[in-house]
Structure 1
Amino acid sequence: MNILKELANRDRVFDFLAPADSPVDVRHGPILYMENVTVSFDGFKAIDNLNLTIDDGELRCIIGPNGAGKTTMMDIITGKTRPDAGQVWFGTRHDLLTMKEPEIAHLGIGRKFQKPTVFEALTVFENLELAMSVDKRVIPTLTARLNGEMRDRIDEVLVMTGLVAQRHQLAGILSHGQKQWLEIGMLIMQRPRLLLVDEPVAGMTEQEMERTAELLTGLAGKQSVVVVEHDMGFVRSIARKVTVLHQGSVLAEGSMDQVQSDPRVIEVYLGESEEAA
């Protein structure tokens, strides 16, 4: 296996820098705070006066029709996109708008994209090993030896993700669902305080969706988890609080029953269905 080639692949996007103990301060407020955030692309407001707060240890589901601004919101949180106006704070001390992507990852914000991105030429165990919160320069990575605590951490994540039996399998031969769990596991290895998960059950079987629901709900409390998803059945199975985005701002917020019965939400989703038809 050519590990150097894998590490040099620019299509591989991983945040290897998060420390075990994030310095985020949540004693006097939420873990994530977005106020009056606006961003435009060529005159189109992708995010329009967005206000959002996520509490420490919370599991929040973000839903909304296509073009609602869900991906742009995550891009702003992770430093990929800079807004035109507004504030974004991680805890009470860290202004994310003054920080670069690696610095934000180092604080403890992890992001999982819709398409699973794993090192397919490496085993499940090796993928988790590479994702561990240690020195990730190439030479130390290739020469490092795992201690007992590190192996215990990997074993713990293997159990959490349901991949114990696949620990020595190449990631490339895993099922779609297993690759999703492996990537979530790689993020867990970094001990993030905030985990952003984009459409985790797209393309999954019903059984895989149930396992993913167990995994994400099991993380809540240990980490803050924000899940962006289109599958309403899955959202209902995990939702504690749901935020509905529309045209770049919050349209409704509350329990799944509350947002589903909101006339504004019904109008937005029915309108999308009629346009698609």
Structure 2
Amino acid sequence: MQPRPAFDQPVDTRKGPILYVEGVSVSFDGFKALNNLSLYINDGELRCIIGPNGAGKTTMMDVITGKTRPDQGQVYFGQTINLLALQEHEIARGGIGRKFQKPTVLETLSVYDNLELAMASNKGVWSCLLHTLNGEQRDRIAEVLHLIRLTAQARQQAGALSHGQKQWLEIGMLLMQNPRILLVDEPVAGMTGEETERTAELLTSLAGRHAVIVVEHDMAFVRSIARTVTVLHQGSVLAEGSMDKIQNDPKVIEVYLGE
């Protein structure tokens, strides 16, 4: 399998964060979805993003991943890679993975085959499936299966998994592409209590090796994993800090936590 196409320069984090979102504004038919938003994520950081509906959380992720172009502002991957100059597929292959709220696994294929396909997402489906994996690739799939706790389900059809297991599989599929940044949208929506706990353990274990940005409404879940929390409101950062600081911020209580 051929390696994922890389940027023409390495991601440089020697002088600061791995992700810069600076002064970004986005308008849709006169509505400002993002309003001079600035956000900085460090390499290996676990960051939770919260805020009321319409705060700009999805638009923020759309801008970072190249789906939406801002009216103004800058978005950099490390100090030198301008994400606004790249297409969606280039950003995904270059090291920024996004998991949407609804799982998008290939349900008729096995868990193992889903991971194998994700490892070679730049190749055709059949050429990938007919390709013989080398030892290093098999080891990587085994490692990810263990990490997402689906080793026992490796040969099971993905469509037979529970909702939570499908979410873990999709996270595993992103991990097969070795991202530097993972954007995870409402990962525990619809999960059982046990699945939620396991998801908290999984995302916490990923921090350090990856920068993990979690957008979530479930405050109990956010409290269980939060290191730094950013609160968005009307397209801007309303507050940022530890969960204790956020929970006691009068502005946050007024516009969000008091709902």
TM-score category, normalised to shorter length: over 0.9
* 2:186 alignment partner AA: E
Alpha carbons 1:58, 1:224 under 8 Å: kept: yes
CA 1:97–1:36: 2 relative to 1, 3 Å: same
Give the TM-score taking structure 1 as reference length. Answer: 0.89
How far has the Cα of 1:23 moved from its partner?
2.5
Aligned position for 2:96: 109
CA 1:134–1:81: 2 relative to 1, 3 Å: closer
Alpha carbons 2:113, 2:129 under 8 Å: kept: no
Taking the aligned partners of 1:68 and 1:234, their CA distance within structure 2 comes to: 19
Q: Does 1:143 align with 2:130?
A: yes
The counterpart of 1:163, out of the listed 115, 125, 150, is: 150
* 1:70 alignment partner AA: K
CA 1:134–1:83: 2 relative to 1, 3 Å: closer
SS in structure 1 of the partner of residue 123 of structure 2: coil
Give the TM-score taking structure 2 as reference length. Answer: 0.95
CA 1:23–1:264: 2 relative to 1, 3 Å: same
**Unaligned 5+ runs, structure 1:** 1-15
Number of corresponding residues: 255
Aligned position for 1:87: 74
Aligned position for 2:65: 78
Aligned position for 1:231: 218
Aligned position for 2:24: 37
Taking the aligned partners of 1:23 and 1:197, their CA distance within structure 2 comes to: 24
Taking the aligned partners of 1:267 and 1:186, their CA distance within structure 2 comes to: 39
Identity %: 72
Taking the aligned partners of 1:125 and 1:112, their CA distance within structure 2 comes to: 18
How far has the Cα of 1:107 moved from its partner?
1.5
Question: Which string of whole-angstrom CA distances, capped at 9 and with x for unpartnered residues, describes residues 84-129 of structure 1?
Answer: 0001000011111111101111220000000011000000000001
Aligned position for 1:11: none
SS in structure 2 of the partner of residue 83 of structure 1: coil
The ranges of structure 1 where at least 4 consecutive aligned residues each deviate by more than 6 angstroms after the TM superposition are none
Question: Which string of whole-angstrom CA distances, capped at 9 and with x for unpartnered residues, describes residues 131-183 of structure 1?
Answer: 11465134532431111111100000000000011001000010000000000
How far has the Cα of 1:247 moved from its partner?
0.3
C-alpha RMSD of matched pairs (Å): 1.5
